[in-house]
Structure 1
Amino acid sequence: MKLLFLGSKRILLFYLLLLLAVSASHAQDILDSTFQQPTPDQALTEFLASVEQKSTLRFYYLDEWLEPFRMPESTDRVSLRTTLGTLLEGSGVDFVVIYNYAVVFFKNPAHSQQRDALIKKATAERKKIDRVTVGNKNTYQPGKRVTIQGLVSDEDNKAPLAGVTIYVHELNRGLATDAAGKFNLVLPAGEYLFTLRSVNYEEKVLNVMAYGNGELKVQMIIEPTLLEEIVISDQNILNTGIGQSKLKLTELQRAPSFLGEADVIKQIQMQSGVTTASEAAQGFNVRGGSTDQNLVLFDGTPIFNTSHALGFFTAFNSDALQESAFYKGSVPAEFGGRTSSVLNITSKEGDFNKWHGKGGLGLVSSELVLDGPLKKDTSSLAFSVRSSYSDWILNQLETRYRGISEGSIFFYDANIKYAHKLDKHSKLTVSGYTSMDRFSIANDTVNQWQNIAATVRYDKTVNDAWFYTAALHWGQYGYQVSEDDPVQAFDLNFGVIYPSLKIDVNRNGILHKQSFGFHSTYYQFRPGTITPTSEESQIKPASVPRETAIESALYFNDSYNWRSNVQIEAGLRLSIYNRLGAGNVYHYLPDLPREPEYTTDTTSYSAGQFIKTYIRPEPRLAANITLDLQSALKIGYNRMHQYVHLITNSATITPVDIWQASNTYFKPVRSDQFSVGYFRNSKSNVYDFAFEVYYKMQANILEFKDGANLILNPQLETALLNGKARAYGAELTVNKLKGRLTGGFNYAYARSKRKVEGPFDVETVNNGSWYPSNFDQPNVFNANWRYNITRRIFFTGTFTYHTGRPVSIPVSAYSTDGNMIMDFTARNNYRLADYHRMDVAFVLEGSRKKNRLFESTWVLSIYNVYGRKNPYSVFFVSQSGMLLKPYQLSLIGTAVPSLTYQFKF
């Protein structure tokens, strides 16, 4: 049946139909419950006629509206509402159901008006709109479903860009490129406006004429220096997961930093929900988790130590990085092995067409980055190196502990990446990374540690929808503590080697974007060896037997556009852990505390024999409900397990901390996190707003016994206790994205508590009550700003404040046999003074003309502007026999200026 309209009355009828639809909305279930399998390539009008013959439904339309549409090939049994909605999407033709039998099709007048408004706005903002054609215009058929296979890459080095958001305005739908920079989009043939955005890149607007199936290759330009900078304003709206972000690497060099060293980890620490203990604290704490609960990947290989100089600097050269993604809420199923967050860092790939160089000269270190083609458009090489060159900086720091300023420091890091295009659909990549540190305080011991990571990766595109990646990784971390005093001379060594295999398969479907794969890592721990290094040394040699384990996982992830405004991402990761021999398992008396003196027996396992196996499912779920063009509501749930543990009795990582594999007594840490967030952008995209709340529960965390000996202890189960933790909080973030003054602030109210309650007093902490963890900081506030004085001169700054962290202090002391005994009534019973600091920088950039051969930048930075003596720790010294005098240690108690020169060619 057909309904004829008079042209001038269509708009009036449109609103009348909407009114009727609302009055009859309670009766629209008939389309949701009606199923009929169409014949492939069948005309829509013929399909509707066949439905009328087999049901009570009646359809009203104009022939000219529906005749161009053909039914797509489908094997899915979907409702009639879904079939029509998918087919007519983006065409401007819509439909309503009246009185549960009449389906009326109409032209939506708002469709063309919205498009005209978007083009007018882009023109007013002086945005270039590139016109591209996909398919053959001669075969154009309105309404026919076409497939666009897209590839987004860097204009300079042609490297694929992952995580680029593509927003199709007419469909009110967005998607993102995968790890290979690809996307797959199925939509009705027609004209569309695409907006592509990515952190660190200039926004791209395309007018796409989609006539048929075809490829769409887009090259994006590194974000230039502009008075009114182009900013990513819809990432939080379009991304499915909650608590996910991409770091803005282009801003690192402009931000104030300690001694001019650009720092990706410090940028992480300025995000809401992330804290750190102090300036010299290695790593970071995320939503109440410890530092070892963060998975840091460099080209897919885990990095165990991410810092130089005990946390003053980061072990990654920011100029050598391509992108960095951070997950603190909803973590995709492809990641596992840690329970708080994931920082996924990808190094820069060399340009396939021409050579580039970049470098910097600072007060502490210098760096050089080179990349370019070995064979044009076929193979490329990227290389970077950074090294410190003097110990003088520690001598300039005013501290309350003179030993700091009399210390010695040296570090370097380097990475190399080779990429080779085997053919049009496959690529081989080989990358390597290393970092090394040597650090000492006055006449104290010398600490050295080193990271090594290597990756061989093969990427293959099978067809339009399928591609896979196979990678071999090699990781190694170790440290050495040396003492030169002849009486106490020794070398203490620890190390871990962890090769791994990863296979990831991705499928881009029409409604589903799926990934699945297999990961396996082999661990070999050397828990510790101490060796005397002089004939006079009183140190006795000792070692702890090596430990081996295999951690594997199977995972599946599915991102599904359930409705036009609802995206769901569901995943399941099945982790399998095997602790292997050779090794010993000690047995203890059942009715007494677990102590070395109560050991009753030992079970020995030969090499390769299974000692303990854990199989743990890890469900993941995230949903993004787009409320309108400017706002979204997100929810997320994660369950994750961790099988390797950092063993420490301090609030920050130290060189003598060790990593312990799960075993019979140390179960894997289990973490469950629930989070909900509301995200909104202003209509003008000048401001964005985010508010998130979360609750995290953890089981099987490890805490140390009071007075525990952790170094070279072959029976660590007698020194550590199993407990549980909980963390909860709310995070608010507000950013100003455009204008001469840009920046933002974030505030987090966050609590992190632990509970250890054993069957015996010696295995119980704080009488079994909840107590604040070492990194419990209830109030955290961060602010950052950038003021454009001119087009090339900037004033930037950051301010951070957080509640002082908990520490344990004695409430009394007594002397026995000449030894001072301190009495601690409770763990973490006191807090250090609140921490706050302001840093500023003046940035002078040279000319940024596109064809300029050489560019330069000067950065004058002042760290700790007002010279705040933030406490690092509190310690006590006995005086006059019984008197305890407290001292507060501040590592950086003065303003620290620096000047850095950066160049690019």
Structure 2
Amino acid sequence: MKLRKCVLLFFLLFVSLVITAKAKTMRQQIEWLRNERKMNFVYDSSLPLDRPYKGKSLQNMTIQQALQSLFANSEIDFSIIGDYIMLKQKTEAKPSVHTPHHKEQNDIKHNYTLSGFAEDVNGERLINATIQDMNTGLATMTNSSGFFSITLQEGTHNIRCGYIGFDDKQEKVNLKSNVHLNFILKENANIKEIVITADLNSPLMTTQTGKHSFGRQDIKTGYALLSSPDIIKTLQRSSGVASGVELTSGLYVHGGNNDENLFLIDGSPLYQVNHALGLFSAFNSDVVKNIDFYKGGFPARYGGRLSSVVDVRTDDGDLNHYHGSYRLGLLDGSLQFEGPIRKGKTSFNFGLRRSWIDLLSRPAFALYNKSSSSEDKLNLCYFFHDLNAKITNIFDNRNRMSLSVYSGEDKMSTKDEYNDSYSTSNNDKDLTKNEFNWGNFNMALLFEHQFSPKLFANFNAVYTYNISRYKSQEDNSYNNGSNVINESHYEHEYKSSIRDYGYRMSFDYRPSPHHHIRLGNDFTWHFFKPQTRNLINSYDNSTGKDTTSMSSKNNYPARECSIYAEDEMIINNHWSINTGINASLFSIHGKTFTNLNPRFAMKYQPYNNLSFKASYTSMTQYVHKISNSFLELPTDYWVPTTEILHPMNSWQLTAGAYFQPDTRWLISLEAYYKHSNHLLQYASWSGIEPPAAKWDKMMMDGKGRFYGMELDASYKSGNLQLRGSYTLSWNQRKYADFYPEWYFDKFDNRHKIDVSAHWQITHSISAFADWTFHSGNHITIPTQYVPMPNVPEGKPLENSTSDFIYEKPNNFKLPNYHRLDIGFDFHHVTKHNHERIFNISFYNAYCHLNSMFAEVKQKQDGHFYIKNHAYIPVIPSFSYTIKF
């Protein structure tokens, strides 16, 4: 009997051991799913995954059924995002049964606020970083100062900070009171995959439509036209953007003109954004930290332009170490240096870029003039420079101040001298000189203050100076032996300038993770001085001397003020909205204009990897750029709305769908319709210097309608990144005084395709390629050649002349445009740990000559034909960079 009991006890013990041995834990089942189903799991290490799993076998289940069975009756919740499975702790429901009063008091949990900054290891603030509570899923994003604020229930939370191109960092925080915490992230350029849904700044997650953010990795792709990476040309690759004339840094967004883009550098407006007539942009990529580009749903905090906002932020400088770089390129060079003034407290950042075209042209023309037998001596000199300087001081965790300075200038001079000193009978002298210079000087003093864990504020004092100057001189003399027969002197000087004094105040208030309020006020005192002119004409001969002198000045002081309020709310897991209003006032010569511009954006996200958005935006613009060319000429000038004109305004509707099928892909489709009123254009002037005196009486008031759709896709896997976009658009204008019907805009490019690839071939070699295609630009050509009546009337018809008839503006489309740009970076690290980068790039790599313009020509037999002009071949460039 005893023996039977012992055997039975042993048998039961053996069976229980076998069953226990075969019972797998939840963690082991997760590992099996990872290996068999090729799924990736993302979870916090504190989750209780070592508990045994007692459910059915997962082998024949779908992934959804397997996860439901695995986590049934547990406190773990899951969500599937592409190839990723996100695990988090379930939020416990509040008990509905009544408990004693003293127990209720003990169980009440208070809310506290976690706030701070996201920075890199050098103390540089990170813009648009994502801060997420892994327990509840609540998340927020850092602002333009790198500040975040999130209010959570008291208790222990696992907080994750993520930023593209950097390693994530998690901190366990026990909230018993308000906590200030700074996240220090380490850069990691070798991150293989990016979970877009973990990035609140991705198009899938933001509430705004038409927003794109660009960091250093987006600008410095490995391709650089004429040795310098170009920010404007990076923006040109975006859908919905036309580039204008070949090689130039034009930006025509959703049909708008070049002057309808608001460019800000550290909060200060920039009027002249190009060098070399548009060949280079005015932004030095060595010092740029982040760019926010808006082309659709504009937040209420931006105003003053109709088409786009380009908000550029520069680096503050390393608070702990000295380092920098210098670059030698085909046409320019640059130097960048940064480091601490007081370690951990005060930093500086300095960047200088200068072209050396003048260093090449001066000796070239000197050799030409010396070797030439001609009496005509020529000289040409041109250069530009950019200077960025910034000093940042951290007083404490709540106060910070920075002074940012930008200076950019172009200078060009020509000289043509003719001296006929070889003739014994006479001595002719002709001298023609031209001098151009144009540019900007910007200064911004920024003070940042954290009033409370939920309230953050910026106070910015700004100064802007923009100038364009042109001076020409002609001297002619003719003498016979020692007797002067005649002598003339002509001098013409032109100057246009803008001075802006202003301030910007902005308040960032986050009462809860679902609620984000922005308030602010901007004020600018403008001083426009378009076309101050001086003219001297002197003539001297044997009969006497005659001199005339003329001068004219134009002065337009104006005041511009705006107040805005913006409220972004997350209603639930599926819905979020952003509502706001921008109220503006513009006063000039006793006339005051006021406008209210409402803004509304809405997002519906039925699934984690799919969202739908729509927005409505109203914009007003009070300043205009007067130009008769699509190049950036020094004779262009800015003028304000006057008492006899209306401010330009527009409204825009945008809607889109955004889809992430897996972690590697992001696809979006947006459609827009924009209508603009009071667009200004000169009525009848074709000279290079449009008149500024009474300019507002020579303007036509017109309308514009612009609509289309944009398809964007991006793919990233391992060392390969692909981007592609397609734009289908219609851009039309109507000026009743000019033409009674709607006609196509010059840059109405019906179809635009842009495909780019970035491939990290090896650790030291990377390649970039971009292929762009768009329908040809529009030009105006005559459609008839007919006899014209003579004036006065009554003359016979056979004596009449013939002329061209232009039936419709922009009635001819140039051939389709396409080109391929490629670039290669070769990296090498020296024994002193200095990185060397050699770049070689090719513009228009397969040398397709794209049409610049066309003209109507007549054959000898009287027939007419169209002659196309195309000039730009393949352009190679190189640069050599050393980082130290």
Does the pair score TM above 0.5? yes
Is 2:265 the partner of 1:298?
A: yes
* Residue equivalent to 1:493: 495
1:464 counterpart residue number: 453
Aligned runs of 1:456-605 on 2, under 5 Å? 456-486=445-475, 489-510=491-512, 511-532=514-535, 535=538, 541-580=550-589
Candidates 804, 825, 828, aligned match of 1:843: 825
By how many angstroms is 1:173 displaced?
4.2
Matched, 1:220 2:174: no
Identity of aligned residues (%): 24
CA contact (8 A) 2:597 2:617 kept: yes
Cα distance change on mapping 1:863 and 1:263 into 2, 3 Å:
same
Question: Are 1:751 and 2:730 matched, yes or no?
Answer: yes
What does 1:580-729 align with in structure 2 at a 5 Å threshold?
580=589, 610=590, 612-683=591-662, 685-707=663-685, 711-729=690-708
Question: Contact (CA 8 Å) 1:697, 1:727: kept in 2 or not?
Answer: yes
- Deviation, structure 1 residue 703: 2.2
Separation in structure 2 between the aligned mates of residue 830 and residue 119 of structure 1, nearest angstrom: 50
Deviations 1:143-192 (A, max 9, x none): 83543423333323313222212344554443211233222212335665
Counterpart amino acid of residue 519 in structure 2: F
- Mapped to 2, the partners of 1:471 and 1:459 lie a distance apart of 9
How many angstroms does 1:649 deviate by? 3.3
Q: Distance in 2 between matches of 1:119 and 1:881?
A: 71
| 1:428 aligned residue | 401
- Secondary structure at the residue paired with 1:718? helix
Question: Which residue among 315, 324, 342 is the counterpart of 1:357?
Answer: 324
Q: Per-residue deviation at 1:658?
A: 2.0
Deviation of 1:578 (Å)? 0.3
Given the superposition, is the C-alpha separation of residues 189 and 312 from structure 1 closer, same or farther in structure 2, using an over 3 Å criterion? Answer: same
In 1, Cα distance between equivalents of 2:809 and 2:490: 32
Distance in structure 2 (CA, Å) of the matches to 1:700 and 1:288: 15
How much does 1:121 deviate? Answer: 6.7
Deviation at 1:889, TM superposition (A): 4.4
Moved more, 625-634 or 811-820: 811-820
Distance 1:334 1:394 in 2: 46
Secondary structure of the structure 1 residue equivalent to 2:203: helix
Matched residue SS, 2:277: helix
Secondary structure at 2:850's aligned position in 1? coil
Which residue number corresponds to residue 713 of structure 2?
734
| Residue type of the alignment partner of 1:336 | G
CA distance in 2, matches of 1:270, 1:111: 47
Structure 1 residue 261, shift from structure 2 partner: 1.1
The aligned counterpart of 1:794 is: 766
In structure 2, distance between residues paired with 1:347 and 1:328: 21
Distance 1:542 1:821 in 2: 38
Amino acid at match of 1:614: F
Call closer, same or farther: CA 1:738–1:706 in 2, change over 3 Å: same
Alpha-carbon distance in 1 for matches of 2:205, 2:773: 31
* Segment drifting more, 635-644 vs 483-492: 483-492
Kindly state the Cα deviation for residue 620 of structure 1 after the two structures are TM-superposed.
0.8
Distance 1:300 1:614, change over 3 A: same
- Given that 1:203 and 1:230 are in contact with CA atoms closer than 8 Å, whether structure 2 keeps it comes out as no
Give the superposition deviation at 1:629.
1.5
CA 654–724 in structure 1, closer or farther in 2 if over 3 Å, else same: same
Give the whole-Å Cα distance in 2 for the aligned partners of 1:572 and 1:536: 61
SS at match of 1:747: strand
1:339 aligns to 2:306 (yes or no): yes
- Greater shift after overlay, 282-291 or 571-580? 282-291
SS at match of 1:254: coil
Q: How many angstroms apart in 2 are the aligned matches of 1:772 and 1:394? A: 41
Judged with a 3 Å threshold, the aligned counterparts in structure 2 of structure 1 residues 116 and 628 are, in CA distance, closer, same or farther, namely: closer
**C-alpha contact (below 8 Å) 1:751/1:776 kept by paired residues:** yes
* Helix, strand or coil at the partner of 2:78: helix
1:862 partner letter: F
SS of residue in 1 equivalent to 2:384: strand
Does residue 765 of the first structure (1) align with residue 745 of the second (2)?
no
Structure 1 match to 2:486: none
Whole-angstrom CA distance in 1 between matches of 2:451 and 2:385:
40
Give the letter aligned to residue 355 of structure 2: S
Deviation of 1:277 (Å)? 0.9
Offset of residue 553 of structure 1: 0.5
2:115/2:454 contact within 8 Å kept: no
The residue number in structure 2 matching 1:184 is 149
Deviation at 1:857, TM superposition (A): 1.2
Aligned partner of 1:870: which letter? Answer: N
**Residues of 1 paired with 2:864 and 2:738: CA distance?**
24
Distance in 1 between residues matched to 2:573 and 2:193, nearest whole Å: 31
1:779 is aligned, of 744, 751, 757, to 751
Q: Distance in 2 between matches of 1:830 and 1:441?
A: 36
1:117, distance to aligned residue in structure 2 (A): 11
- Root-mean-square deviation (Å): 3.4
CA distance in 2 between counterparts of 1:168 and 1:819 reads 81
Distance in 1 between residues matched to 2:270 and 2:361, nearest whole Å: 26
Provide the secondary structure at the position in 1 that maps to 2:235.
helix
Point out the more displaced range, 658-667 or 319-328.
658-667
Give the Cα–Cα distance (whole angstroms) in 1 for the partners of residues 583 and 774 of structure 2.
38
Report the TM-score, using the length of structure 1 for normalisation.
0.75
The aligned counterpart of 2:289 is: 322
CA distance in 1, matches of 2:239, 2:667: 12
The one-letter code matched in structure 2 to 1:810 is P
Aligned to 1:462, the other structure's residue is in SS state: strand
Q: Work out whether 1:204 is the aligned partner of 2:168.
A: yes
| Structure-2 change in CA distance of 1:142 and 1:886 (3 Å) | farther
Once the 2 structures are TM-superposed, how far is the Cα of residue 519 of structure 1 from its aligned partner?
A: 0.6
Secondary structure of 1:667's match? coil
Check the 8 A contact 2:161/2:183 in 1, yes or no.
no
Q: Bigger CA drift: 645-654 or 838-847? A: 645-654
Matches of 2:528 and 2:804 in 1, distance apart? 35
SS in 1 for 2:319: coil
Determine the C-alpha separation between the residues in 1 that align with 2:548 and 2:208: 53
**Which range moves more in the overlay, 735-744 or 343-352?**
735-744
Q: Deviations over 1:68-95 (max 9, x none)?
A: xxxxxxxxxxxxxxxxxxxxxxxxxxxx
CA shift, 1:652, in A, is 4.3
1:809–1:829 contact (8 Å) kept in structure 2: yes
Q: Is the 8 A contact 2:159 2:173 kept in 1?
A: no
Alignment match, 2:78 = 114
Aligned 8 A contact 1:488 1:539 in 2: no
After superposition, the C-alpha distances for 1:109-129 in whole angstroms (9 at most, x for unaligned) are: 576142899999799xxxxxx
Q: Is the 2:535–2:551 Cα contact (8 Å) retained in structure 1? A: no
**TM-score, length basis structure 2:** 0.77
Q: 1:275 deviation in Å? A: 1.2
Letter matched to residue 702 of structure 1: L
Q: Partners in 2 of 1:119 and 1:442 — Cα distance?
A: 67
Shift of 1:441: 8.6
Q: Equivalents in 2 of 1:279, 1:194: separation in Å? A: 49
Contact preservation (8 Å) 2:81, 2:608: no
Aligned to 1:32: none
Residues 2-21 of structure 1 mapped to structure 2, 5 A cutoff = none
- Preserved CA contact (<8 Å) 2:708 2:730: yes
Which region of structure 1 is more displaced relative to structure 2, 387-396 or 612-621?
387-396
**1:479 and 1:495 in contact (8 A); partners too:** yes
Normalized per residue, the structure richer in strand is 2
Instruction: Name the CA distance, whole Å, in 1 between partners of 2:583 and 2:196.
Output: 35
**Which structure 1 segments of 5+ residues have no match?**
1-106, 124-140, 397-404, 581-609, 758-763
